[in-house]
Chain A
Amino acid sequence: MRGRTSRKTIFAFIGPSVIALALIGIAPLLYAAWTSLHFFNLTRLRQLRFVGLENYQTVLTDGAFWQAMGRTFFLLGTSLPLQLALGLGIALVLHQPGLTLVKTLCRLSLVLPMATTYAVVGLLGQVMFNQNFGVMNQLLGGADINWIGDPTNAFIMIVFWDVWQWTPFVALVLLAGLTMVPGEVEEAARLETKSWWMILRYVQLPFLVPGLVAVLILRTADTLKLFDMVFTLTRGGPGASTEFISLMIQRVGFRAFDQGLASAQAIILLIITIVLARIYIRVFYKEV
């Protein structure tokens, strides 16, 4: 019965969205591709000229660019395992029977961090991690840690906030997976073994896979996109210790005003993102 709708009708419904997304999503990308082939400095617009692939050559051989890229994946590699471990723990606790009221309250509080404005998370970081009047040092028993001014500590602080904001998301996704396990199956398994690890590994894990895949894809994308919170908290510093890829491109484009070079970096980031998205979808969505 379906599929008899005329092309004109289909276009009337879906056309406006496609045109809108093409105009605001694709046209700018084409313009960025054009910019990336030029010497395009906002403070020296008179010298605007075509330079071919020179910007790309600069980016590809630029150690700082690949360091920022490596730093970005290092952040992902540090915070994602923490989020998965803590998130799984929280999901397992919430999945236990009993204490319904407290658990509802807990689920509601878990929603708060992930809805919080990233910029506000950064500002909170500034206040809570301040060396002198920050509550973090006080809670650590009057420690005198310089969080924002020290490269390693600043990185740890970023990991802390990323974990604070996104562990709840992982926990709720995994909890949704746990509730998909049929009750009879879980009960039967519990009669067989007392080991929670065996139940997790052989009964619950298969139901967690789709959620884990979603988390992996989205956390990768969000780490590549990460900007607001870090910009507010450290501006990428001290030095370049928290300068992740999106921050670096912003600095080159809007603080060094080199739009040509920044556009080349952005196009390379775009290519990496699309390749990663394709790989993820091909590897995982086949079995899901």
Chain B
Amino acid sequence: MTRIQRSYAIQLLLLAAIILICVFPFYWMVTTSLKTQVVALQSPPVWIFEPTLANYREALFEDGVLRTLVNSLIIAVSTTALALVLGVPAAFALARFEFRGKKDLWFWFITNRMISPIVLALPFFLIARSFDLLDRHITLVLIYLTFNLPIVIWIVTDQIRGIPYELDEAARMEGASQFTIMTRICLPLAMPGVAVSAIFSFIFSWNELMFGLILTRTEARTAPAMAVSFMEGYDLPYGKIMATSTLIVIPVLIFALIASKQLVRGLTMGAVK
């Protein structure tokens, strides 16, 4: 074997190991979800067994996981839509207008990303309780804005900055208002950024557990909170827990793969191009 061949072989081995470590937990999750309780509890664990879809059927239709998935979907889509409606004009303003306090506004938006959600969860719970807003979709839709709005503003501002300002000026010559410039000129060109920020907003909302746990009970129960509630009691239904986990994780993994190129940029809020 030549030196180059050997270096390729080592590389291939390392890459295979990385892929394996990343993917193995998902493999284990899916296979466990296809096991009956008896098989799932075998020690040491078995790798070859007769798969069954019973866990999915029971979780979805008997335990009400389907309904929590629908709740999560309603909440994630609504909060994303709201974040876009509020955030896109703000991003346009930050990219195109000069005004006092812009830097402070900027810092405030970033700080929002750093604050621990538990700090907001305590007062939000008390406020929601006194306004009879516990266990309602709208409560989660609103509180998820605290992290979705900054991310939408951040990514879309970045995107609009990349659009030549001359286009705005040309449109203004024609007598277009700022609103028309935003909707007719900047928005179509900023669509990739808008789409990515929407995907982010959806993933973050869909994945969130703590607010869901604290602010919902039954009516607006989110899927992650539901999955965790299976962990109570003695004889834990591991197959069902993994089936629910699989159902929760599949949509976000698909979205993450679609946005994989922009994922890092979004997570670092643009600190890395």
Contact = CB atoms under 8 A, between A and B. Distances in A.
Contacts of A227: 116-118, 209-210
Interface residues on B, range: 35 or more
A172 B23 contact: no
A142 interface: yes
A109 B123 contact: no
Interface stretch (B53-61, B63-71, B86-94, B189-197): B86-94
A31 B118 contact: no
Most chain B CB within a 10 A radius of its CB, from A99, A103, A120, A253: A120
B227 interface: yes
Interface stretch (A11-19, A58-66, A149-157, A185-193): A11-19
Given A106-B18, A117-B249, A273-B114, A29 B120 contact: yes
Contacts of B12: 99, 102
Interface in B11-52: 11-12, 14-16, 18-19, 21-23, 25-26, 28-29, 32, 40-45
Nearest to B21: A164
Interface in A25-78: 25, 28-29, 31-32, 35
Contacts of A35: 122-123, 126
B1 interface: no
A214 B271 contact: yes
B70 to A, nearest CB: 17
Interface in B80-114: 86-87, 89-90, 92-94, 96-99, 105, 107-114
A176 B209 contact: no
Contacts of B257: 108, 111-112
Interface residues of A, number: 99
A248 to B, nearest CB: 9
Given A16-B90, A111-B263, A224-B116, A117 B98 contact: no
A256 interface: no
A241 interface: no
Interface string A120-157: 11111011100011110110001000000000000000
Interface string B229-273: 001000010100110010011001101110010011001100111
B138 to A, nearest CB: 12
A240 B25 CA distance: 27
Nearest to A32: B123
Given A17-B86, A17-B153, A118-B209, A31 B43 contact: no
A208 to B, nearest CB: 10
Contact of B25 (A1, A17, A99, A164): A164
Contact of B122 (A109, A177, A218, A266): A266
Nearest to B246: A120
Give the dominant DSSP class at A's interface. helix
A246 B206 CA distance: 20
A235 to B, nearest CB: 9
A12 B86 CA distance: 11
Contacts of A119: 207, 209, 224-225, 227-228, 248
Given A18-B105, A115-B203, A273-B114, A123 B90 contact: no
A176 B242 contact: no
9 contacts: A1-B169, A12-B89, A17-B87, A28-B120, A98-B8, A99-B11, A102-B15, A118-B224, A273-B116
Interface of B: 8, 11-12, 14-16, 18-19, 21-23, 25-26, 28-29, 32, 40-45, 86-87, 89-90, 92-94, 96-99, 105, 107-127, 142-143, 145-146, 149-150, 153, 165, 169, 178, 182, 203, 206-210, 213-214, 224-225, 227-228, 231, 236, 238, 241-242, 245, 248-249, 252-253, 255-257, 260, 263-264, 267-268, 271-273
Given A1-B165, A102-B15, A214-B272, 16 more contacts: A2-B96, A13-B178, A24-B145, A35-B126, A90-B18, A93-B18, A113-B25, A119-B207, A122-B228, A126-B231, A224-B114, A246-B117, A250-B210, A263-B123, A277-B110, A277-B114
A-B pairs, top 9 by smallest CB distance, nearest first, are: A115-B256, A214-B271, A13-B93, A17-B90, A28-B123, A3-B98, A228-B209, A31-B123, A221-B114
